[in-house]
C-alpha cells in the first residue's frame, strides 16, 4: 500500500499575487453560495418560502421598517393559498417568524450579487483579469441573476392554487445554484493551483474514472434529494433500511412509470436511498484506490476528506429520516451534500496530469 505522499513532486512555484487575490474572492463567493443553499433549505423546512408574495429586486434589500409596512406585507400574505389553507388565523407575530427566513434568503442572494460585482469591477479596472477569464466571470454574474429570477418563478408556483412550490422548479433552482457554485469553485482552483501536481503513475486513470463516477453519483443523488424535499417524501417511511418492513416499498413505480421517480413519494425516497448507498460504495472505492497510488500531500488530504464527508453525509441522511426531518439535521444534510460535491470535484482537479489544462487568465 502506498501511504507516503510524493513530496519530491510538489511544485513550489506560486501563481501571481493578482491570481491569488482573485482566487480568494471566488472561493469567498463559492462559500456564500453554499450558505445560500443552506438558508434555502431552512426556508423550505420552516415553510417560510411563500411568506413574501411580491418580488422587488431592488427595494427588497430593505425589510418593513414601520407597523404600516408590516401590515401591508401581512395583508398580501393573507391573500395567498398558504395562509388560507394552512396558516389561517396566523398572527402578525407568527408571520414575522416565517417572513424573516425568506427575507434573509433573498437578502443573501442580493448580497452575493454585490460582493461579486464590486470586486469584479475593481479587478477589471486594475487590469488584473485576463482576456480568457473576463467572459467567464461575466457569465457567472448573469447566472447569479438568472438564479434570482428562477427563484421567483419557483415561488410563483406556490402562490396560485396549491400552497406548495413545484418540485420540478425547486430542483431546477437547486441545480442552477450548484452549477454556479461548481463554476466558482473550479475557477478559483484553476487560479490558485494553475499547474497540475499529479505524480506520474499509470494507475491514475482508474482512480480518475472512479472519482468521475463518484461526482456523477453525488450530483444525481443531490438532484433526487431535491425531489425528496419538493414532495416532502422525507416525512414518510421513517425507518431504515426497510420501508414499511420491505427493502423495496409496496407500490414501487406506479403508473405512469415515467412520472413516478418525480411524483410518487415511495419511489422518490427509495431511489434517494439507493443512490446514497451506491454513492457511498463508489466513494469508498475511490478512497481505497488512492491508498495504492503515489499522491502529493494536498491530493492525499482531499481523498481522505472525501471518505470522512461521505460517511458523515450518509449518517446525517439516515438520522434525518429516522428523526422525521428535524430542521437542524435536515439543514446539515443539505449543506453536507454541497461539501461532498466539493470534495469530489477537488479530488478530480488534483488528479489532473501535467499539460492537461491551461491556466485561466
Q: What value does the mean pLDDT take over residues 265-292?
A: 96
* pLDDT class of 10 with cuts at 50, 70, 90: very low
Q: What is the pLDDT of residue 199?
A: 64
Q: What value does the mean pLDDT take over residues 32-44?
A: 95
What's the distance, Cα to Cα, between the start and end of the chain in Å? 39
SS3 for the chain is CCCCECHHHCCCCCCCHHHHHHHHHHHHHHHHHHHHHHHHHHHHHCCCCCCCCCCCCCHHHCCCCCHHHHHHHHHHHHCCHHHHHCCCCCCHHHHHHHHHHHHHHHHHHHHHHHHHHHHHHHHHHCCCCCCCHHHHHHHHHHHHHHHHHHHHHHHHCCCCCCCCCCHHHHHHHHHHHHHHHHHHHHHHHHHHCCCCCCCCCCCHHHHHHHHHHHHHHHHHHHHHHHHHHHCCHHHCCCCCCCECCECCCCCCCCCCCCCHHHHCHHHHHHHHHHHHHHHHHHHHHHHHHHCCCCECHHHHHHHHHHHHHHHHHHHHHHHHHHCCCCHHHHHHHHHHHHHHHHHHHHHHHHCCCCCCCCCCC
CA dihedral 163, 175, 253, 234 (to 10 degrees): -60
Percent of the chain with pLDDT over 70: 92
Q: What value does the mean pLDDT take over residues 291-295?
A: 86
Q: What is the pLDDT of residue 198?
A: 64
* pLDDT class of 243 with cuts at 50, 70, 90: very high
Q: Which residue has the cell 496530469?
A: 353
Q: What value does the mean pLDDT take over residues 260-286?
A: 97
Percent of the chain with pLDDT over 90: 75
**All 3 cell numbers of residue 35?**
450558505
pTM: 0.91
Q: Is the pLDDT of residue 2 over 70?
A: no
Most confident range, picked from 117-131, 251-265, 335-349:
335-349
Q: What is the pLDDT of residue 202?
A: 72
297: phi then psi, degrees, rounded to nearest 5:
-60, -45
Q: How far apart are CA 171 and CA 175, in angstroms?
A: 6
CA dihedral 29, 34, 35, 38 (to 10 degrees): 160
Q: What is the mean pLDDT of the chain?
A: 90
Q: What is the pLDDT of residue 295?
A: 84
Lowest mean pLDDT among 1-15, 103-117, 161-175, 282-296: 1-15
Residue 50 makes CB contacts below 8 A (sequence gap 6+) with 80, 82, 102, 155, 158, 159, 163, 165
Q: What value does the mean pLDDT take over residues 119-125?
A: 94
Tens of pLDDT, residues 313-336 = 999 999 999 999 999 999 999 999
In sign, the C-alpha dihedral spanning 155, 157, 160, 163 is negative
Tens of pLDDT, residues 171-211 = 999 999 999 999 999 999 999 998 876 666 677 888 899 99
Q: How far apart are CA 360 and CA 299, in angstroms?
A: 20
Tens of pLDDT, residues 66-101 = 999 999 999 999 999 999 999 999 999 999 999 999
Q: Is the pLDDT of residue 33 over 50?
A: yes
Q: Is the pLDDT of residue 358 over 60?
A: no
Q: Where are the domains of the chain?
A: 16-194, 199-361
Most confident range, picked from 162-166, 202-206, 257-261, 272-276:
272-276
Amino acid at each position: 500500500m502506498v501511504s507516503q505522499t510524493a513530496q519530491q513532486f510538489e511544485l513550489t512555484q506560486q501563481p501571481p499575487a493578482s491570481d491569488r487575490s482573485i482566487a480568494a474572492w471566488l472561493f469567498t463567493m463559492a462559500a456564500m453560495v453554499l450558505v445560500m443553499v443552506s438558508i434555502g433549505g431552512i426556508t423550505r423546512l420552516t415553510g417560510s418560502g411563500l411568506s413574501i408574495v411580491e418580488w422587488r429586486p431592488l427595494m427588497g434589500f430593505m425589510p418593513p421598517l414601520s407597523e404600516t409596512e408590516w401590515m401591508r406585507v401581512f395583508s398580501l400574505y393573507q391573500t395567498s393559498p398558504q395562509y388560507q389553507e394552512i396558516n389561517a388565523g396566523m398572527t402578525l407575530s407568527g408571520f414575522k417568524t416565517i417572513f424573516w427566513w425568506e427575507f434573509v434568503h433573498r437578502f443573501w442572494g442580493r448580497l452575493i450579487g454585490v460582493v461579486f460585482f464590486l470586486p469584479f469591477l475593481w479587478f477589471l479596472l486594475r487590469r488584473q483579469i485576463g482576456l480568457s477569464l473576463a467572459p467567464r466571470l461575466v457569465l457567472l454574474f448573469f447566472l447569479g441573476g438568472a438564479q434570482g429570477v428562477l427563484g421567483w418563478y419557483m415561488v410563483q408556483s406556490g402562490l396560485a392554487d396549491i400552497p406548495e412550490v413545484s418540485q420540478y422548479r425547486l430542483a431546477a433552482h437547486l441545480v442552477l445554484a450548484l452549477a454556479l457554485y461548481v463554476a466558482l469553485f473550479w475557477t478559483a482552483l484553476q487560479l490558485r493551483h494553475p499547474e497540475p501536481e499529479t505524480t506520474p503513475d499509470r494507475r491514475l486513470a482508474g482512480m480518475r474514472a472512479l472519482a468521475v463516477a463518484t461526482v456523477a453519483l453525488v450530483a444525481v443523488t443531490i438532484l433526487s434529494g431535491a425531489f425528496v424535499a419538493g414532495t416532502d417524501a422525507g416525512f414518510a417511511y421513517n425507518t431504515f433500511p426497510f420501508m414499511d418492513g420491505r427493502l423495496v416499498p409496496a407500490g414501487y413505480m406506479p403508473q405512469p412509470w415515467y412520472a413516478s421517480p418525480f411524483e410518487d413519494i415511495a419511489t422518490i425516497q427509495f431511489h434517494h436511498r439507493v443512490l446514497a448507498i451506491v454513492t457511498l460504495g463508489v466513494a469508498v472505492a475511490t478512497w481505497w484506490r488512492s491508498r495504492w497510488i503515489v499522491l502529493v500531500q494536498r491530493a492525499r488530504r482531499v481523498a481522505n476528506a472525501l471518505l470522512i464527508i461521505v460517511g458523515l453525509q450518509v449518517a446525517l441522511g439516515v438520522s434525518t429520516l429516522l428523526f422525521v426531518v428535524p430542521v437542524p439535521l435536515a439543514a446539515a444534510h443539505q449543506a453536507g451534500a454541497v461539501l461532498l460535491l466539493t470534495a469530489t470535484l477537488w479530488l478530480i482537479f488534483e488528479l489532473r496530469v501535467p499539460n492537461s489544462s491551461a491556466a485561466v487568465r
